[in-house]
Structure 1
Amino acid sequence: MDIRLRSEELERQILSPRACLSSASRGRLAAEDECSVRTAFQRDRDRIIHSKSYRRLKHKTQVFIIPEGDHYRTRLTHTLEVAQIARTVARALRLNEDLAEAVALGHDLGHTPFGHAGEKALNAVFKPGFKHNEQSIRVVELLEGGRGLNLTWEVRDGILNHTGPLRPSTLEGQIVKIADRVAYINHDIDDAIRGGILRADQLPAECLAVLGKEHRDRINTMVLDLIHTNLADTAEIKMSPAIQAATDKLRNFMFDNVYIGSEAKREETKACHVVQHLYKHFMKHDELLPPEYHRRIADEGADRVVCDYIAGMTDNFAIRIYQRYFLPLPWIL
C-alpha cells in the first residue's frame, strides 16, 4: 500500500461520517494521476502554498493600506489565521482538516490591491462586476501559471462560497466561511486598537460580556462554541444563537467605526483612484500589458484581461505602475 492509500484508509477509519473523504472527491477539471504520497486535498493545499498568487498576499491590504509597522495584518497573515481556526474546528469535529486548510489558504487568492477598496473600485469600472471570491476561482482555474492549479471540486466550491449568500457544499467549507469572519473581526479589532482608531473601552460591553474582554478570549469563545454547537450530526455548521448574535453585533460595530469612514480608511479614495485610473489606462493602451496577458485579449476581451491584471497586483506594485504612467519621473543626468 502506498502512503496516499494508507492516508485515505486512515480517513475512513478516523473521520466522522459527515466528513468529506479525499478518496470521495468529485475530482478535478482535468483528470490527472494521483500522487503516491499526498491525498487530493493535501495536494491542493501544497499547490496553493507554492503559487505566486499566494505569495503576493503578503503585500495586499487587509484593513490598513500599506501600514507602517511590523505587526499589522496583511491579506496573507489574515489567511493564515483563518486556516489555523478552520483546522482547529475541523480536527475537533473529526472532519477533513486538509480540505478545510486548502479552502482557507485559497479563499482570498483573487483579492485586489488595497483590499476591499480595490474590490469596490474594480467593481465600479468593470461592467460585468467584480467579486474577490469569483476572482479567486479564476486564479485557481485559469490565471495562476497561465493554466490554473487544477484543484478539486470541493476546494473550489469552498473558495467560491466562502462569502456571499450561498453555503459551501461541504461542512469543511462551511467551517472556513465562519472562520473567516471570526478571524477578521478579532484581528481587525486588534489592529484598530494598535492604530489608535479604537480604544478597548469603546467595544460594545454587551458583546464583551458574552465573548470575552481580551482578543484571545473572544477567539477562544467563538471557536469553542463552533465546536460544541456542531458536535451533533448537523447538516450545517453554525454558531449557537447567543454567540452568533454577539458576533453579528460586534461585526456591525466594526463596520460603523472602522470599516466605513474611519481614520483607517483615509487613503481609500486615493487607492480607488489608482485602481480605476490603471484600469482606464490599460483599456486605452492594452499593448502595455505583459505578453502573457495581452495574448488572451482575442479570446476573452480587453476588459476581462485588464481586470485580471490589476486584480493580481500588490499594493506596492499598483502604486509603482501608477507612478510610471501618471507621475513625472526625475531627470537623471
Structure 2
Amino acid sequence: MDKCIRQISEENEKKILSPLACLSSQSKGRLREETECDIRTAFQRDRDRIIHSQSFRRLKHKTQVFLAPSGDHYRTRLTHTLEVSQIARTIARALQLNEDLTEAIALGHDLGHTPFGHAGERALAQLSPNGFKHYEQSVRVVDILEKDGKGLNLTDEVRNGILCHTIGEDAYTLEGQIIRIADKIAYINHDIDDAIRAGVMNEEDIPLDIRMGLGMTKSERINNMVLNVIANTDDKKILMSDDFWELFNDLHDFMFVAVYKNPVCKGEEVKAVAMLEQIYEHYSKRPEEMPEQYVGIAEKEGVDRAVCDYIAGMSDNYSVKVFNQLYVPKFWIE
C-alpha cells in the first residue's frame, strides 16, 4: 500500500531534523486516542486546531501592554503571539528542530490570558482563593474549555510547552524551551516599539551600554538575540550567553521603570481591575447568570473556578460590555 502524505512527512523529519528534535511520529500522544490524519502530522494538526479555536480569535481584542490605544499599530495579544511564533520558528529552523511543534506551542502559549494583560491576571490571582496563572489557564483552555467542554485534545508535547513557557520547570522538549526565550525576545522589543509610538520613551533613552551590547535598533536587537541563542544552545537547553542574558535583564529593568510602571501606559489599569473585580463579585454571588457552559463548571468544579474561566476568556471589549450590562443603566450607554 502506498504511504500517506503524513507518513512521508514523518519520514522526512527523521532524515532532515537534528537527533535532538522531537519527531511527530514519536509523540507521547493525546489525552484521548484518535485516528491519525492522512495528511498532517500530529503537531501540524495541533497547530491547525489552535488557529481555528475561538480562544485564538479572541486574542485580537486582548491587551498586550497599552489599554485601548488610539492607533491601529499597537500590539495586541494576537500580534504578540504571531511575533513569538515567527521568532521561535526562525530559531527552530536554524537548530534543525521541529518547526511544526514549535509553531503549535507558540500559537497556543497565551490562549488563557486574561483581558487587560497582566493587570487582569494579577486581579484574578488576588480575587481567586486558588490563585490564577495564565499559563496554567492556557492548558485548561486547550484541555477543557474549547469546543464547549470537549477541548482540543492536543499532544502532550504541545501541552507541556504551553505550560512551561513562562517560569518554573523547563519544557521537556527543546522546541518547548524555544518558546520561553522567543516570548521574551518578542515582548521586550515590541514593547519598546509601542512605547516609542506612544511617546513614552525614545530609543536613545535606553542606556547606551545596553544598546551597544544588544543592538541599536529593534531589528538589530532581535537579530542579535536570535543569533546568540542559536550560537549558545547546547543539547540540553535553549539559552543565551551569560553576557547577553545579563544585558537582557538590564533592559527589562529599564523597561519596568520607563514603561511597565509608567502612568501613561498603566494609568487606566486601576479602572480595568476595578471592573473585573465587580464582574467577579457579581457572578460569584449569581453563578446561574453565566453562560450555560460555565454554570456546568460551577456545579462540577466550584463557583470560583467557573467565574475565573469565564472572565479569563473575555476579550477587553466583551468584559466592558458585560460590566455595562451589569452595572450601568441601559439608557446611559445607548
TM class, shorter-chain normalised?
Answer: over 0.9
Maintained 8 Å contact 1:99/1:155 = yes
> Could you say which residue in structure 1 is the equivalent of 2:120?
118
Q: Does 1:173 align with 2:176?
A: yes
1:296 deviation in Å? 2.3
The amino acid of 1:108's aligned partner reads D
Q: Which one of the candidate residues 162, 165, 174 is aligned to 1:162? A: 165
Maintained 8 Å contact 2:297/2:305 = no
> Could you say which residue in structure 2 is the equivalent of 1:5?
7
Pick which of 115-124 and 249-258 moved more: 249-258
Q: Within 5 Å, which residues of 2 pair with 1:1-333?
A: 1-145=3-147, 146-230=149-233, 233-330=234-331
Maintained 8 Å contact 2:14/2:23 = yes
Measured in 2, the distance between the counterparts of 1:66 and 1:48 equals 25
Measured in 2, the distance between the counterparts of 1:204 and 1:148 equals 46
Cα displacement string for residues 189-248 of structure 1 (whole angstroms, at most 9, x for unaligned residues)? 000010011111111111100111111111010011111222xx5211100112111111
Identity, % of aligned positions = 58
Measured in 2, the distance between the counterparts of 1:221 and 1:262 equals 31
1:262 deviation in Å? 3.4
The amino acid of 2:259's aligned partner reads V
Change (3 A) 1:315 1:229: same
TM-score, normalization: structure 2?
0.97
Maintained 8 Å contact 1:45/1:102 = yes
Paired residue secondary structure (2:97): coil
Paired residue secondary structure (1:263): helix
> How large is the Cα RMSD of the aligned pairs?
1.3
Measured in 2, the distance between the counterparts of 1:332 and 1:88 equals 47
Measured in 2, the distance between the counterparts of 1:37 and 1:234 equals 31
Cα displacement string for residues 161-188 of structure 1 (whole angstroms, at most 9, x for unaligned residues)? 0011211110001011000000000000
Pick which of 189-198 and 221-230 moved more: 221-230
Change (3 A) 1:104 1:331: closer
Paired residue secondary structure (1:150): coil
The amino acid of 2:122's aligned partner reads K
Measured in 2, the distance between the counterparts of 1:246 and 1:225 equals 12
Measured in 2, the distance between the counterparts of 1:321 and 1:165 equals 34
Pick which of 204-213 and 70-79 moved more: 204-213
Measured in 2, the distance between the counterparts of 1:68 and 1:261 equals 17
Unmatched runs of 5 consecutive residues or more in structure 2 = none
Paired residue secondary structure (1:295): helix
The amino acid of 1:312's aligned partner reads G
Cα displacement string for residues 57-103 of structure 1 (whole angstroms, at most 9, x for unaligned residues)? 00000000111201000000000000000000000000000000000
The amino acid of 1:100's aligned partner reads T
Maintained 8 Å contact 1:60/1:314 = yes
1:331 deviation in Å? 7.4
Measured in 2, the distance between the counterparts of 1:297 and 1:70 equals 38
Cα displacement string for residues 130-164 of structure 1 (whole angstroms, at most 9, x for unaligned residues)? 00000001000000012110000000000000011
Change (3 A) 1:326 1:38: same
